[in-house]
Structure 1
Amino acid sequence: MFHKEGHKIILITLLICIAGSVVVDTRVSLPWLRWTLLVGILILLVLILQFFRNPKRRFSLNQGQVLSPVDGKVVVIEEVFEPEYFKDKRLQISVFMSPLNVHVTRYPLGGAVSYSKYHPGKYLVAWHPKSSEENERTTVVVKSPQFGEVLHRQIAGAMARRIVNYAEEGQEVEQASDSGFIKFGSRVDVFLPIGTAVEVSLDQKVKGGITVLASNHGKE
């Protein structure tokens, strides 16, 4: 199963690969070169298909838990000042995605979308300290009864050139449903109230809509 954001790219890539294979097969006479080029074309197609895959998952929804919005690895757990929306200190958990991860972004919580904004910007590597403020990004805030307002931010990386965001202000959304898509690698930051209990550790691998990032145990 492939995500809808990849349908056009997959079709174009498939047509290019078919045309390229025909040209290589009919115009390249050296057997070793012909097979090398054909294998390269096949690898390109496989990479595009795996990037836009959208595997079916069985979600265990719980509004007392904040789910990871994406697949990847936890690279940041710290208290920081969030300057765009809250303008105060928040608990930040960041998940970095490699090009091999599933790139569907999911809502970490269900509730009402109170803020949704797209920011054009640079394409610094996703782990750069300034990427969350200077890169192309989208900021979405969802208000839930258990946690209040929780912000998640899609951040484009060096390879990403387009972020897709489905959130609209005033919209009611369900936990783990599609929030957007980041094409070709990046990261997502989640900003939680101070005192929220963290359920993951640095360098831990997580799955979008499956892994619990934090819970409201211990939250004042």
Structure 2
Amino acid sequence: MFHKEGYKIILIATIILGIGIILIENFVSINWLNKLLALILLGFYILILQFFRNPKRNTILNDNTIIAPVDGKVVVIEEVFEKEYFKEKRQQISIFMSPLNVHVTRYPVGGKVKFSKYHPGKFLVAWHPKASEENERTTVVIETKSIGEILYRQIAGALAKRIVNYAKPELNVVQGDDGGFIKFGSRIDVFLPLNAKVKVNLNDKVKGGEQVIAEI
């Protein structure tokens, strides 16, 4: 199963693969070179397919938990001053996605979208300390019934050139549902209340849509 954001790219890649194989078969007479070029083309095609995969996740809905919005590696757990929306201290959990991870963004909590804003910016590597403030990014705040407001931020990386965000103000969203997509390497920051109990550790690999990263 592939994400809808990848349909156009997959179609183009399929056409290029087909044309490339035909050209190689007709114009490359050296047998080993013929096979090598075909394998390289096929390898790139498989990479594109795996990048846009959209596996089904079984989310256990719970108003008192925050789940990982994406697959990836936990690279930050710290108390910070969130200055865009809350303008106060929050607990931050950051998850880094490599190009090999599933890049679907899933809602970490269910509730009503209170804030959603796109910020143009740079394309620093996603783990850079300034990436959260200077890179292209979107900020989304969801108001929940029992936890209060949770903020998550999609951050483009050095390779990511497009962030897709489906969260719109006043939209009611379900925990674990598809909230967007970031293309080719990126990061997600989640900002939690100070009384949230973090359930992950640095360098943990988390599974978006299923794994609990914090609870109240």
Short-chain TM bin? over 0.9
Match for residue 168 of structure 1? 168
Shift of 1:185: 1.0
In structure 2, what residue type is equivalent to 1:151? L
How many residue pairs end up in the alignment?
A: 216
In structure 2, what residue type is equivalent to 1:185? G
Q: Secondary structure at the match of 2:10?
A: helix
In structure 2, what residue type is equivalent to 1:49? L
Match for residue 142 of structure 1? 142
Match for residue 126 of structure 1? 126
Alignment of 1:63-212 (within 5 A): 63-212=63-212
Q: Secondary structure at the match of 2:92?
A: strand
What whole-Å deviation, never above 9, does each CA across 1:16-36 have from its counterpart, x for those lacking one?
111011101110111111111
Q: Secondary structure at the match of 2:84?
A: coil
Q: Secondary structure at the match of 1:126?
A: coil
**Contact kept in structure 1, 2:137 and 2:155, CA below 8 Å:** yes
Match for residue 13 of structure 2? 13
In structure 1, what residue type is equivalent to 2:38? L
What whole-Å deviation, never above 9, does each CA across 1:145-185 have from its counterpart, x for those lacking one?
22111000000000100000000001111000111100011
Spell out structure 1 runs of 4+ moving beyond 3 A.
none
Q: Distance in 2 between matches of 1:214 and 1:57?
A: 18
Q: Secondary structure at the match of 2:62?
A: coil
Q: Secondary structure at the match of 1:76?
A: strand
In structure 1, what residue type is equivalent to 2:55? P
In structure 2, what residue type is equivalent to 1:120? P
Q: Secondary structure at the match of 1:170?
A: coil
What whole-Å deviation, never above 9, does each CA across 1:179-212 have from its counterpart, x for those lacking one?
1100011010000011210000000010111110
Q: Secondary structure at the match of 2:96?
A: strand
Alignment of 1:34-45 (within 5 A): 34-45=34-45
Q: Secondary structure at the match of 1:34?
A: helix
Q: Distance in 2 between matches of 1:57 and 1:108?
A: 13
Q: Secondary structure at the match of 1:25?
A: helix
Q: Secondary structure at the match of 1:56?
A: coil
**Contact kept in structure 1, 2:59 and 2:175, CA below 8 Å:** no
**Contact kept in structure 1, 2:70 and 2:103, CA below 8 Å:** yes
**Contact kept in structure 1, 2:77 and 2:91, CA below 8 Å:** yes
Q: Distance in 2 between matches of 1:107 and 1:128?
A: 24
Match for residue 3 of structure 2? 3
In structure 2, what residue type is equivalent to 1:44? F
Shift of 1:63: 1.2
**Contact kept in structure 1, 2:79 and 2:90, CA below 8 Å:** yes
Unaligned runs of 5+ in 2: none
Q: Distance in 1 between matches of 2:58 and 2:72?
A: 18
Match for residue 59 of structure 1? 59
Q: Secondary structure at the match of 2:7?
A: helix
